[in-house]
Structure 1
Amino acid sequence: MGTRAIKQHVLELLKQDDLASIETELTLLQEKELVNALFFGICHPDERIRWHAVSAMGGAVARLAEQDMEEARVILRRMLWSLNDESGGIGWGAPESMAEIMCCHAGLADEYIHMLISYMRPDGEEEWQDGNFLEHEMLQQGLIWAVGRLAQCHKGRLLARGVEHDLPPYLASPDATVCGLAARAIGLLGRPEAMERLQELATNDQRRLRLYNHGVFTTVSVADLATQALKEMG
């Protein structure tokens, strides 16, 4: 198949309901061609296509890394560049895809997890204050989801870098998705952070948001996620 045909084939597969079946079909494609097609998917306006592409990107780049580590690094650098103001792009789907890739490949996590974390942190005068804080709320949604995803597979790596202290400010976000995902990530990390604020959200915040987790889509409230976070922290 040519490039255009592969892209169309991949997008059609991503529309399906069963993520496991989609990933099985996608393994039949050559990794470089698949990754190029998935880049169209991770910024697609259709929710199902976009999130299935994010999930599929993890396995595809991990397989590519086993064949050619430098090629895999190029993919991650491309995603990082898309989040840079100078790129001229927006970076839709980049944080989420990076998290999935790192969950599928520990070596890439070791190399790039600090870069993803930097997008929660502002730059500063001190040498260690080398942040790349994302101000756009839509990108923050993807970033905080990514932190929660990494908490499922690389919790120790996140805690070693003090990420639990970066999340509480997002609990004050006017964006329900950012706020709810921050509560979820704090719970997944399991450290007693912002307990008073989480209790307030669990009691009062009925704003709704969509949550994607391993191929499953649900609609939940901020209160639901804050309540779950409090349970996970004991």
Structure 2
Amino acid sequence: MNREGVKRLLYERDWEEVVRLALIDRRVLRVLIGLLYDADDYAHWLAIDALGRWGGRMAADNPEKTRDLIRRLLWTLNDESGGNPWGATGAIGAVIAARPELFAGYLSMICPFHDDVNIYPEFIWSVAAVGSARSDLAAEYVPFLLDALGHASASIRAYAAWCLGALRVPEAAAALTALMDDAAEAAVYEGDGVYRRRTVGAIAAESLVRMGQARAGSPN
């Protein structure tokens, strides 16, 4: 299947078919990896999601092949690789979230790269994905998330506000409340094909509701 065919399945959120094809055809897997660098941000995130599902499924029969993918993606994060690191952090996070009992140790390996403004949203998303599967694995990264609420990038603030709500971190309530008037807009990929653009303030308000700290509804 060619690139456009794979993208069509991703846009349709036909995860089962995408994963099935990637398991039997290395060309489909290569397309998914290539889509990590797609100019369409939504396609980029769908590819991250699909690779996580592929990694989880492959690990059931051959965890070493999943580790090979993780190692390949980790290599692109190093300067000496000469590769494009965009997408690698999110894909690694998605794989860890699919099988945390096997791959949890890799989460600390992507943390050092969070200073890159282009990678930071993927790191935050990875913490949310992994933490949703195993809350104990995300606990040590809460200070990073709280710091990210004050980042100059609206995208990073948005992902941090969303992640803290997804993980239901009670100590974030005051900082999230302070963000409710933040009118900057950003798009956040929430998983399973859900990709929404709204203000940082609206995301903070939704997270407070999710945490039981506020009533539903926001002026943003």
Query: Which interval holds the TM-score relative to the shorter structure?
Result: 0.7 to 0.9
CA distance in structure 2 between the aligned counterparts of 1:113 and 1:27, rounded to whole angstroms:
26
CA displacement at 1:61 relative to structure 2: 1.8
SS in 2 for 1:27: helix
CA distance in structure 1 between the aligned counterparts of 2:164 and 2:18, rounded to whole angstroms:
35
Question: 2:207 corresponds to which residue?
Answer: 229
Are 1:210 and 2:187 counterparts? yes
User: Among residues 27, 38, 59, which one is paired with 2:20 in the alignment?
Assistant: 27
CA displacement at 1:133 relative to structure 2: 4.2
Question: 2:136 corresponds to which residue?
Answer: 156
Are 1:69 and 2:63 counterparts? yes
CA distance in structure 2 between the aligned counterparts of 1:224 and 1:109, rounded to whole angstroms:
33
Amino acid at match of 1:80: L
Are 1:56 and 2:34 counterparts? no
TM-score using structure 1 length: 0.80
CA displacement at 1:110 relative to structure 2: 2.8
Retained in 2: the 8 A contact 1:31–1:64?
Answer: no
SS in 2 for 1:211: strand
Deviations 1:195-221 (A, max 9, x none): 33211111x101111122211221121
CA displacement at 1:192 relative to structure 2: 2.3
CA distance in structure 2 between the aligned counterparts of 1:186 and 1:165, rounded to whole angstroms:
11
Deviations 1:26-85 (A, max 9, x none): 413416443222110111112332222111111212222223222211110111121122
CA distance in structure 1 between the aligned counterparts of 2:195 and 2:172, rounded to whole angstroms:
27
Q: Which runs of 5+ in 1 are unaligned?
A: 1-5, 120-131
Retained in 2: the 8 A contact 1:14–1:22?
Answer: no
Change (3 A) 1:87 1:186: same
CA displacement at 1:12 relative to structure 2: 2.4
Q: How does 1:155-194 map to 2 (within 5 A)?
A: 155-159=135-139, 162-194=140-172
Retained in 1: the 8 A contact 2:155–2:186?
Answer: yes
Change (3 A) 1:48 1:110: closer
User: Among residues 40, 47, 61, which one is paired with 2:41 in the alignment?
Assistant: 47
CA distance in structure 2 between the aligned counterparts of 1:67 and 1:36, rounded to whole angstroms:
20
Retained in 2: the 8 A contact 1:205–1:223?
Answer: yes
Question: 2:79 corresponds to which residue?
Answer: 85
Residue identity over aligned pairs, in percent, reads: 26
Retained in 1: the 8 A contact 2:149–2:160?
Answer: yes
Retained in 2: the 8 A contact 1:65–1:71?
Answer: yes
Amino acid at match of 1:225: I
Change (3 A) 1:178 1:110: same
**Count of aligned pairs:** 209
Structure 1 stretches of 4+ with a deviation exceeding 6 A read none
Amino acid at match of 2:67: R
TM-score using structure 2 length: 0.84
SS in 2 for 1:138: coil
SS in 2 for 1:28: helix
